Amino acid sequence: MQDQKKNPRSIWYYYAIVFLVVTLIRWLVMPMIMSAQVKVTNYSEFINSVEAD
């Protein structure tokens, strides 16, 4: 049997794909997660919103 060397270029394709996926996640998903903010309210509004559900 003859040992075949792995193509070193193929590992760079995997790195590029992973880099693009991570970049897209940071660009698209993270702003959606960070946009969720806490709303300041008083106790009666809180109770009304809890009882409404």
For position 9, what pLDDT does the model report? 76
> Is position 2 within any domain?
no
Question: What's the CA gap between 45 and 7, in Å, rounded?
Answer: 63
For position 13, what pLDDT does the model report? 92
For position 53, what pLDDT does the model report? 63
Q: For the chain, what is the domain count?
A: 1
> Is position 34 within any domain?
yes
> Is position 1 within any domain?
no
> Is position 19 within any domain?
yes
Domain limits for position 23? 8-52
pTM > 0.75: yes or no: no
pLDDT in tens, 2-52: 666 667 678 889 999 999 999 999 999 888 888 878 889 999 999 998 998
